Structure 1
């Protein structure tokens, strides 16, 4: 049994990340015959690592280009790797989206396309629909990121404002055969949500995209509102003929990573419980629930007895009201610190498996039974920092940030609470 609680939690996170890395998961899903020519396209935080893994396992000629977030690149010999901005798109993402459409538009029925998708692809392939400027999309995207909207709602808007998402990339690839390999970063693993579903049918509508903007009080630019009211803004639906030659394979999911972490915990002598791979909601509210479960375990040995690990995944949200720094995982842990207020025997980690919590340099942070007491001794206003959405500032001051750098995969958030016996 590991006698260093923080080290155990960090190891669990590392195991979860490794279980979703393209080097570990892509090869088994490739066709048995790997000798043909293929054009490779892709977008997401794992796109470059996926392209590199594909090059190592494919024996035939490869060409194409993929886009990933700045700093998330990987060396490739035949596939061009472009880096662009995330989560707010920039000119580089727009340019590579145009190039991608041009690359596949000239293909015929004898050609084969591999599309490599992962979380972040929605922002990285940012090509506005006709009449909408990049500045318009950036403004809407910033507002969505601060609104508290969940990923499905955000992507509903994004794909209806796009010339490449919502199945439109599949339409551009037609009549070539298209096989998408995807790493899921969304609760429920819905292909139409992962990277805003550029190669699959979209069940959502333009009217629903408008409703999202209205629900969260987002005043979209006039061009955006005009476009969403036009029939041309509708995405591809399941019966569209361009989807006939399209296949889709999930090669890694949040659940796979949670299972791997739970198994590692058991190997170290701890019972493990996976709450869910699709927990959503405000980070601070999710923290309250996790705190209550941890206390139930420690006090009543329910639903399992300590020493044990409680694991969860999914994507929480933060409605930004303050001016502090920090992503949803830091906010979760800061709220958890307040809820537990130094409860003995409870440790925690929360981090984004892509290595970036929100837009900060850390993946997340760790929490010990002494965190709250240390914060008070350091003169930190815990409640005030939470009100200011400053989880990064809190954990930075206590030297409890988890900094991994880009992991080159992305299966969303990872949370683990370690509960020790009295």
Structure 2
């Protein structure tokens, strides 16, 4: 590799790949061979409902092992292959897209469509629900008395509040007909239901992941979370000669708190002559204080470039903060990646980083200095990965 930026992006992609549905299902079936055999030998008709930002790759990974009768995929706009966006359905699958992180009319229309299909299933059928991050806004039917406008208002208020995801989803359940296990109550009591999940929730709380439409349930399985991604990055970094330090793989700090922690770790890292990696996995909390455009990872990157400017060191460094789903907030970026000269580039282009930070406007300023992480939809979703790299002094 020729640069720190190439290395840091490589590490991030490595972490994302470790949470790929194909990899996660392969590992899962190795550990659950009896359940796998049950699916192979069952005479029941198999129906798959896959919902979330990883809905399409999860569905394709599942049917690689098991033939199904019918299936329904509900995912975020732009997360289906182009041809599926055009065709929308074939002899087996219905392909649908809706809005995230704020629901829209398609969210409700598609949710009613799939619910009507699921209600037709009975004792001779088996339903497999494949759940990933983003399902809370994609799969939604309001209870009586709540309109689409009401639901949009509620979701915007919650998402801008800076609350933790379990608090947000707890509030969402109050106005929903399908969240918090309510989907199960809508279905035939004789229908077998299995749920397989890629967790984007710290602690893997099944009540919180996708707002838990099929929980509680005894047939509920978590395929993977952020831990595997973090371990994979650490393993490779050590092979490449980095001295590594993992702060946490369940981090839930605010962007402000996290930025000061990274600054502290940076000052510690430069005391060593060897090249250093500091790694954090988790989900940042980021209240929206202005009218700008950005996301929690982009704001953290902007904060880091402001904080580290005052530390004049003869060492190259690079910091990345990005979401493993490829989407940071309501933007098309996964996050931000900044380095020694980022702040100088911003000022050269007549930006005031502090003013942009105060307006929650991290996206335009990072874009203008080529400091966005752009991946497109990754096919998985296991929270955020934060990486700080510091070159060795001998470099």
1:34 CA drift (Å):
2.7
Q: How does 1:111-190 map to 2 (within 5 A)?
A: 111-173=125-187, 174-190=189-205
RMSD: 1.8
Equivalent in 341, 362, 372 of residue 391 of structure 1: 362
- 1:89 matched to 2:89: no
TM-score w.r.t. structure 1 length?
Answer: 0.84
- Residue 4 of structure 2 contacts residue 317 of structure 2 at CA under 8 Å; is this kept in 1? no
- 1:6 matched to 2:5: yes
- 1:257 matched to 2:256: no
Distance 1:62 1:254 in 2: 32
Number of residues of Structure 1 aligned to a counterpart in Structure 2: 373
- Residue 347 of structure 1 contacts residue 419 of structure 1 at CA under 8 Å; is this kept in 2? yes
Match of 1:345 in 2: 316
1:3 CA drift (Å):
4.6
Larger CA deviation: 106-115 vs 186-195? 106-115
Match of 1:107 in 2: 121
1:163 CA drift (Å):
0.4
Equivalent in 283, 308, 312 of residue 276 of structure 2: 308
Match of 1:57 in 2: 65
1:107 CA drift (Å):
2.5
Match of 2:32 in 1: none
1:294 CA drift (Å):
1.7
- 1:43 matched to 2:44: no
Secondary structure, aligned partner of 1:411: coil
Equivalent in 261, 274, 297 of residue 246 of structure 2: 274
Structure 1: runs of 5+ lacking an equivalent: 202-242
Residues 358-379 of structure 1 show CA distances to partners (whole Å, capped at 9, x for unaligned) of: 1111111211111122223332
Match of 2:20 in 1: 21
Match of 1:233 in 2: none
Match of 1:324 in 2: 292
Distance 1:324 1:101 in 2: 37
Equivalent in 350, 366, 373 of residue 344 of structure 2: 373
Distance 2:352 2:68 in 1: 59
Structure 2: runs of 5+ lacking an equivalent: 30-35
Match of 1:354 in 2: 325
Residues 49-100 of structure 1 show CA distances to partners (whole Å, capped at 9, x for unaligned) of: 1111122221x33312121000011458622221000111011111221122
Distance 1:49 1:29 in 2: 16
Secondary structure, aligned partner of 1:57: coil
1:140 CA drift (Å):
0.5
- Residue 277 of structure 2 contacts residue 390 of structure 2 at CA under 8 Å; is this kept in 1? yes
Distance 1:411 1:155 in 2: 17
Distance 2:69 2:388 in 1: 44
Distance 2:384 2:72 in 1: 28
Distance 2:127 2:310 in 1: 54
1:197 CA drift (Å):
0.6
Secondary structure, aligned partner of 2:289: coil
